[in-house]
Structures are given as structure tokens and as C-alpha cells.
A and B are shown apart, each in its own frame.
Chain A
Amino acid sequence: MKFFDKVIGDPMNRVDGKLKVTGAARYSAEYQLPNLSYGVVVSSTIAKGRIRSIDSRAALRAPGVIAVISHENAIKVPGWADNEHPTEPPTGGRPLRAFYNNRVYSNGQPIAIVVADTYERARHAAMLVKAEYEEEKHETNFEKNKGKAVVPAVVKKNPKSGLADYERGKADAYKTASVRLEAEYVHPSEVHNPMELQAITAYWEADDKLIVYDKVQGTKPTQQAFANEWKIPVQNVRVISEFVGGAFGNGLHNWPHETAAIIAAKMVKRPVKVMLTREQMFFMVGYRPYTWQKIGIGADKDGRLTGIYHEAIGQTSSYEEFTESTLQQSKMMYTSPNIGTKYRLLPLDVSTPIWMRGPGEATGAFALESAIDELAFALNIDPVQLRLMNHTDTDPEKNLPWSTKYLKECIQVGAEKIGWSKRSLKPGGVRSGEWLVGYGMGVGTFGAHRGAAAVRAKLLANGSVVFQSAVTDIGPGTGTAMVQIASEHLGISPEKITFQLGNSDFPQAPNQGGSATVATVGSAVVATCQAMKERLLEMAPSADKRFANLKLEDVTFDKAHLSITRSPSVKVAYTELLKKQNLTELDVLQDSKPSQEASKYSRYSFSVHFAEVHVHPMTGQVRVKKVVSCADAGTIVNKKTAANQMIGGVTGGIGMALQEDAVMDHRFGRYVTKDLADYHVPVHADVPPVEVYFVDKPDYIVDPMGTKGLGEIAIIGVAPAITNAIFNATGKRIRELPVTPDKLI
């Protein structure tokens, strides 16, 4: 095997691909339940205050309306009654409770839900609901309120938190470096905007039995959250998310519209379907928070880093604390003996943010990787050289060896493939006709996480195997990767394997997030295959006595047969063993969790992105002409789907660098960019060919397949690669995203 394979060839097509290309894949709003009704959420039109009254008379008179529900008449959610903190929310603080009282905490907050027998009737009646408010002065302007940033509550509770102020050596050592710079960077709020609008269909099968078809990234965490809210046994809640139309993080939290639908379903005693509007997606289901950053960085004249100081303030809501690891990369990416970080939060009268792909690490990498590029320019050193020179062979933060790290190799290959040698050290040195040509790079890293999960497998009499896990697949191709892992570890062809997912009735799996799914659920698949092989070997002597007293390592499992490795002619089919034992199926359930050994290492995935951009000097138009991305993400299970995920990250990074900006009108505390015409995301014409390269070297410390996560590193470092390329083309350093043409002319 070559060290670097360009991603070509014939990796497996997705197992659910046919369902997706024929329209047969069913998403949360696409289940036809008998007696279904439609709920439309009414949103607040003020940013802060109290609802004085809700006039629902006109709505109730409208045809087909079944109910108008608000804090004035909503049933009480039992889990909220006696406990201010009924659930342990993933982000700390407390999530907004739908229709809990008359308080308004942000513009666009759900204040009522109208239920009708058709969607059109519900939508119309929702327009007839009138609210009167006692308005209070709101604060939504980040820049104006920056001075009010606070230490996160999670740090006050736990001073050892990774978000606490960090110092290695001297935090301000950069100030005395022979070459140094200080710069501020601004990242605006960005909205996930998956193509599928957030949707839920809620149905109470019985007074204490709830079914939800819900767009979430974890069926089990959602099941637990709703069981807590309604004080019913966890097994009485069934969460189904068989297909999730993108999420990028906004399905990692349960939002008020979900509880609104569940309250409504309970009150009207019918299934209620709620699909948010695109506008509501900006106000109700999280976003990447507006973040201000400051970096101080210094080096000696040869380019050896002597100090990095990185400070960030992230936006959160007034009622719930959202934090993310914005500063992590600065703590461990480079060799500098002196590092300081400081993380603060600014609560405003806005809705709560949530992790958006790459999350804080991507925001932080924009600042850090820009600063490295700025320093390289100040030193008159090639940015590739500066990074290689300050590469670290052990984790300087944890003082541990890396489990694996092939970042240097990634950088070398990426530089070659983008044609880095054509780059001029001096900005504006390369032209193509009227256009200025620039090359830039950015490095990304994200923890190679692995959690605990369980997987069930059933071997059936016809020789097929059905696997089950509660995990969701928001797009990376989880089912496909799991089938491939199962195929390899069970010795059965992929066509014989089905991987069922997206149902809380299935065995435990965490949220699909933090690039941890393959490592977590894949490991459980391996463990389950192992357990099934043990069972088959136990049964084998019933078919052929020569299998008696053999151990697993003496036996080969291939093509749905066991054979004795040293005498391969002694073999028996898996299905033969079922027959011999009069079994219709063999059912195995196994769990899996990370090893102790792993904690002796620092475990990260790494990526590097190289961009070639063309900038038109008259119009400020930026065209990304080519991107090369290289990833050190351990074993690549499916190069087709993995490469696609990398391309998707690059696409997201292009949006971050050049387009995405949730602009708020602070007079009203309301976004003015609230649809896809005003909030720009990359379209076909914005995305050039993307070349993806994988190191494809296993990391067996992380998990038995040797994988490391991929989803986040696909985007982390992309935006600075593009903005650095723009600097290289134009000499203009834009530190406030997105880099729109007005900033370049």
C-alpha cells in the first residue's frame, strides 16, 4: 500500500444510497400517522420582556383549528414542576422551556403553537395570533457589550476545567520576543442551516407512552431528556431518527419547538407534526456564536516561537451557558515554551448557540492560523517552513506522546499537490490575467474521541446478519462504515449485512457529534462480531468434532464459514451451526468502551488545507480555484464517503471564510439575514474541485479499527487557508469574517 493514496478507485457505495436517490429515505416530517395534525410555532417579536396577553380568538375561529397553546393554557410539564434543573443539559445552564411562563428571552422565541387539521390552516391561523408585550430594554450587540464578558460558570464550578485560564511558562512572554505581533479577530454568528428544516412528529400512544420522530443527533440522549421532562419510564419514550437531513451540530440539543410539539400532542390527543420555517431556523435551534479573539505571538529571528497568547470571548444566551473549546489548538499545536489562554462568555438577549461543525476549534483556528501566517510574513519565512520548524513531536500541553501524528507528512504532500512552489513570498507576486493569485494554508486538529456504546447482531437462518444501534447518521455514512467494519470482522460479505440505526429501542449509542461515531460505535461492532465468533466456535463441534477445544486464534472466519486455520479443508457454514442447534437466529449484544491504555497518550486527528484563490483587484471578488486537503485520521474505512466528508468540510470553510454572516438588527434584536437569499452559503458555483489525501495509517490506541475522527478536521483550518491565500494575493489582511468584496476594495 502506498503511503498516500489519492482517493480514487471503487470504495463501497452507501448502503442507504438507493433510498436517498429514489426519495424513499424517510426524514422526521415524513411519517404518515393516522389522525395527524399540524402545529405551527408562533414566535415572539420582541427580544426581551413579558407577554402581557395572547389573543387567540381569531385563530380559534379560523377553519380547521384544533387548539392554540401558549403559557396561558399549556399543561405543565411534570419534570419542570419541582426542580429548576430537571435534566443535566449538555451545555450547562438551563434550556429554554416552551410555554413555561410569560418571559421572553430572545426575539423569535416560541410563544405559542397553533394546531390545525391541515398545514395550510395551521399556518394561516398562526398569523392571527396576537401577543401584547411589556417590553424591556434588550442587549444583543456583542461589540457594544464586550466589556461585560464573564468567567464561564462551568469554570467557577470546576477550576480544573479545560476552559479555565491556562498558562504554560509565561502567558505574556510574546511581548518581549524579537519578532512579535498582536491582532484581533472577529468571527460572526453563523447558522447551521441544514437543508432539512428542524421537524418533529410527536404522538402519545398512551398517557405515559411517547413516540417522537425527531430530527436529532442522538436518539438515546433525546429519549432520556424527554423521559425526565415527562417523568415517565425511559423505555416509554421512543425516539426515531432514521434519516437526518444534515444537522452540523444543531441536533445536539433539544430545542423548545420539540417540547412544544409534545405538549400539543398531549393536549389535542393526536399526533402533531411541527416543521420549523427557514426563518425560525435562525432563531430557535442554535448557531455558531459570535466570537472575538485576540492573539499575541512572538518568535526569535530564526522563526522559533517563543510565546503565544490567545484570548476569546464567545456569545451565549442570558438563560443558558454555551461553551466550546475555541482555544484548544493554541495550547498544543506548536512548540512554544510560553502559552497563555483566556476564555470568557458574553451573555446577551439572544437564543442559545450550539456546536456547529468543527465547533470552537474551527473558530479558534481561524485566529491562530492567521496569526501564524502573519508572523511568517513578518519573519520573511515560508509559512510551511514556519509550521514545520515549530512542529511538536509530543503533546506540550499534556506532556504525553501522541497516539499517532502524521501532520508533517500531510503538510509536505499538500504543499506539493497545491503547487506551493509557485507561491510568491511577497503578496501580489503572482497574476493570472486580471486576477491576483494567492496561496494559503491552515492546519486543523481535533481530539480523537471515543465513547461507550453497545451493538446487537442477529445472525439469521438465511445467512444474513442484522446489526442494531441507536446511533443516528446525519450524513457521513455511518451505516455504510459499520457494514464494512462488520463485514471485515465477521467474515461475511457486505451484501448480507444490514445495519439498523436511528431508533432509541436499539442498543446504547451517544450523540453523533465530536467526530467520535466510527471510533465509538465501530468499536462496539467489532466487540459484537468478536462475541458472535466466540458463540459460533462454541457451537462448531456440533457440526465437526475437530473444532472442539480450539481457540479463536486457531480459527478463520471468512465467507460465512469457520475453518481451522492450519487445516482449511475443515470448515463449516455459520448457517449450518444454527441448523444443528435448531436455532432460528443467533442474537448477540456486546458493549465496548475506551481502554485504560489510551489515557497514556494524547489522541488527536490532524488536517492541513491548502487553497489557491484568485482575487479581482477592481471588484474584490474572490474565487477559490482549488483546495487540497490532507487528513491524518487513522484508518479510512470508506475512502469514498470519507473524501466526501472532507469536501463537505472544505465547502463549509469556504462559507465561513467568504460568505456566512448572521447579521442582527440590534434595534429589534432580530436577524435581518433570515433566509438563504440573505444568509449566503456556498452553492455549486462557489466550490472548486477539491483534492483529498489521507495518510490512512491506523491508530490502534484510539480504537481496534485504528480510526480517528474526521468530520471536524475537515473544516478546521479551511477558513484561514483561504484568508491567508487572499493576503498572499492582495497584501490585505482581513481579520473579520467573512471576507466580502467590500473589505478588499
Chain B
Amino acid sequence: MSKINSRDQQSGESKSDSRRDFLKQSAVLTGAVLTPSIALKAAEAQWDEKLAEALEKIPLKLEVNGVSKSLMVEPRVTLLDLLREQLNLTGTKKGCDYGQCGACTVHVNGTRVLSCLTLAVMQDGRKVTTIEGLAEGDQLHPMQEAFLKHDGFQCGYCTPGQIMSAIACIREGHADSEEEIREYMSGNICRCGAYPNIVNAIVEVKKGGKKV
């Protein structure tokens, strides 16, 4: 096997050395006024990387699907990636990472948000509900039942986002007509094209009058 450029091949000692170097440098940094020229120097010396490494984790408390979580996360971690990669809640989907498709829709304190455009650390102390948190044991949420009945999906990838949005759409009072539902669900793309079935599911749940 040819050579790999791998940090793993460096000794553990050199790694901790670099951390010590950083601490020295950061002491200098905090003592200095951060002028542009110093900032430039910092960039050249890769201090930015080291800064990130040292300060990367921030404490975060979240209630996810009714369970309190005390976490340490990097500030750049999105709520979506936190759910999928660290909490193993992969029901929330990544479809674009730019807030354009709605596949990552979750509820934060009961309101729909795009978790890909939401930094996890900004949600400290809030309640997050994902698709995994809708059913009560074996009892599906009425919206999940309606999606099943009306076949409001094909591949299933946009489905969690559609369902979370659909519930919010009713809660917001934006489900009074099919036209209105289509408008207020337009942030959730379904490339398989199950739209009319999704609309039918929402209409049924809305007409059913149950609290969602």
C-alpha cells in the first residue's frame, strides 16, 4: 500500500505537543488587541485550526423527543447533523443542507424549523421533536396514519419532513383549503411526486379535528 498522509501515523506525543503550543499562542492572542495583521498571522500559523480544536465543544442541553440530553458539541454542528450523526436519530433527513427542500424539518418548542439551517448550540434549553417522537408506542400519530392510508410518499425520504411540516401546517391554521395546504407545504419537496396524496392526508387529519 502506498503512503497515506495520515495524522494517525503521527505519535500521540506530537499531537499533545501541538495542543500545548496552542495554549501558549492563545495566551498571546488573548493579551493582544486582535488587529488585522495579527489575525492574518494567526491564519498563517494555522492558529484558527488550533483554536477550533481547543474550543470546539460547547455544553448544550436539549430535550429531544421528551428525553433530556446534556451534550458537548462543536458550535458549527447543525441541529440536523447532531440528530443524525451523534444522537442516531436518522429519521430526520438531509436533502440539501441549504434549507431548500424541507426534508430536515423538525419541531422546536412546537414550531417547524429547518434543522439544517439551525446550529445546535442555538437551541440550548429547547424542546426538539423529530419524526421518531411522534408515535406513542405502537400508536401512530394521526398524521402518520393518514400518510399511510393515502400513500403520501413513495421512496419515503422526504416523508419525515413532510409529516412534521403537515402537523405544523394544521397547528398554524394554514390547512383550511387544499389550495392553502399546497401553498404552506411548498417548502417540502417530494421528488417522487406524491403531492396530491400528501394533501389528501392533511385534509383528512384537519377534518378529523383531532389535536395535532
Chain A interface (Cβ within 8 Å of chain B)? 13-14, 16-27, 29-30, 32, 56, 58, 60-63, 65-69, 73-76, 118-120, 124, 192-197, 243-248, 266-268, 275, 277-278, 474-477, 640-641, 643-645, 647-652, 675-677, 681-685, 687-690
Contacts and interface: CB of A to CB of B under 8 A. Distances in A.
B134 A676 contact: no
Nearest to B188: A684
Nearest to B100: A676
Given A21-B140, A195-B191, A683-B189, 11 more contacts: A19-B156, A22-B91, A23-B90, A23-B92, A29-B90, A66-B7, A267-B1, A648-B192, A651-B190, A677-B100, A681-B191
A74 B4 CA distance: 8
Query: Top 7 closest A-B pairs, CB basis?
Result: A23-B91, A651-B193, A245-B157, A20-B156, A475-B154, A475-B155, A648-B193
8 contacts: A21-B148, A26-B90, A73-B3, A75-B1, A75-B2, A192-B191, A681-B191, A684-B188
Contact of B182 (A24, A193, A196, A684): A684
Contacts of A58: 46
A687 B186 CA distance: 10
Contact of B154 (A56, A60, A477): A477
A641 B148 contact: no
Contacts of A683: 186-189, 195
Interface stretch (B27-35, B81-89, B204-212): B81-89
Contacts of A76: 2
Contacts of A67: 4-6
B158 A195 contact: yes
A684 B156 contact: no
Contact of A648 (B6, B89, B131, B194): B194
A697 to B, nearest CB: 23
B151 A278 contact: no
Interface in B149-207: 149, 151, 153-160, 163, 178, 181-183, 185-199
Given A684-B181, A685-B182, A476 B4 contact: no
Contacts of A244: 155
B121 interface: no
A60 B7 CA distance: 7
A195 B8 contact: no
A243 B7 contact: no
Given A22-B91, A120-B76, A73 B193 contact: no
A63 B52 contact: yes
A687 B56 contact: no
Interface of B: 1-8, 46, 49-50, 52-53, 56, 74, 76-77, 81, 84-85, 88-98, 100-101, 103, 130-132, 134-135, 140, 144, 147-149, 151, 153-160, 163, 178, 181-183, 185-199
A298 to B, nearest CB: 37
Most buried by B among A20, A195, A685: A195
Most buried by B among A68, A644, A651: A644
Nearest to B179: A685
B190 A195 contact: yes
A18 B191 contact: no
Given A118-B85, A677-B98, A684-B199, A13 B154 contact: no
A652 B189 CA distance: 12
B193 A197 contact: no
B156 A685 contact: no
Given A120-B74, A120-B81, A685-B183, A63 B191 contact: no
Nearest to B184: A684
B193 A687 contact: yes
A281 B8 CA distance: 31
B157 A68 contact: no
Nearest to A275: B94
Contacts of B5: 56, 60, 67-68, 73
A647 B151 CA distance: 11
A278 B157 contact: no
B140 A18 contact: yes
B8 A66 contact: yes
Given A194-B191, A684-B185, A685-B186, A675 B158 contact: no
